Amino acid sequence: DAGVIQSPRHEVTEMGQEVTLRCKPISGHDYLFWYRQTMMRGLELLIYFNNNVPIDDSGMPEDRFSAKMPNASFSTLKIQPSEPRDSAVYFCASSLFREETQYFGPGTRLLVL
Amino acid sequence: KNEVEQSPQNLTAQEEEFITINCSYSVGISALHWLQQHPGGGIVSLFMLSSGKKKHGRLIATINIQEKHSSLHITASHPRDSAVYICAVSGSNYQLIWGAGTKLIIKP
């Protein structure tokens, strides 16, 4: 398997624009996680899915953030409208079971100007 | 006080040295994770522990549930081990709590 795939790897956008981050988990993994990493706050869990269903979205910072998982092989994290403070590295990870080892994607570096 | 404390924050050592990174936590957990983040930013999950000890190559992770403490050991360290090592714990409701990370530099 190719591992967790994220796209784009880098995104530079202007404040107010919509940003969509994409993730393809490892085939067969039932859990998918979205994380954000900043220098100030470290790694934060934003939301996680089990069998395509959002289980805990308490980490989503505000209504500008939304995540979907329309099928077992694809998830999106959308920010609309984006703000400079959203600049961070966004990681997607997947695991077979909730408490099993998580496999991380390469991350998307987002810069909002 | 943070719920997950790592020590040391920074560690510089010579190649071949035995490395120990510590993680203490103050909450009840269902699992503890050790992750590695390289300077390029990629994150690799090293271990997931709920008891005992796990070994993978030169890496060893131990956990003492009673003492709420875990250690990550690296034997025969190598410059390519230079990275940030992160400890994270998950509770019964799966709220992940992350340590601040330990920045390890191995000099040749």
Question: Residue A17's CB: how many other CB atoms inside 10 A?
Answer: 13
Q: Give the minimum alpha-carbon distance from B108 to chain A in angstroms, rounded to a whole number.
A: 27
**Is the pLDDT score of A99 beyond 70?**
no
Which residues share a beta bridge with A12?
A111
For position B42, what pLDDT does the model report?
81
Q: Residues B63-86: what's their mean pLDDT?
A: 95
Q: Give the minimum alpha-carbon distance from B103 to chain A in angstroms, rounded to a whole number.
A: 13
User: Which residues are CB-contacts of B94 (< 8 A; sequence separation ≥ 6)?
Assistant: A48, A55, A56, A98, B30
Q: Which of A89, A98, A99 sits opposite B41 (nearest CB)?
A: A89
Q: In this complex, is the C-beta atom of B67 within 8 Å of any C-beta atom belonging to chain A? A: no
pLDDT tens digit sequence for A45-55: 899 999 999 98
For position A40, what pLDDT does the model report?
78
User: Which residues are CB-contacts of B91 (< 8 A; sequence separation ≥ 6)?
Assistant: B27, B28, B29, B30, B97
Ramachandran category for residue B42: left, alpha or beta (phi over 0 → left; psi -120 to 50 → alpha): beta
pLDDT tens digit sequence for A35-73: 998 877 778 889 999 999 998 888 898 899 999 999 999
pLDDT tens digit sequence for B37-54: 987 778 888 988 889 999
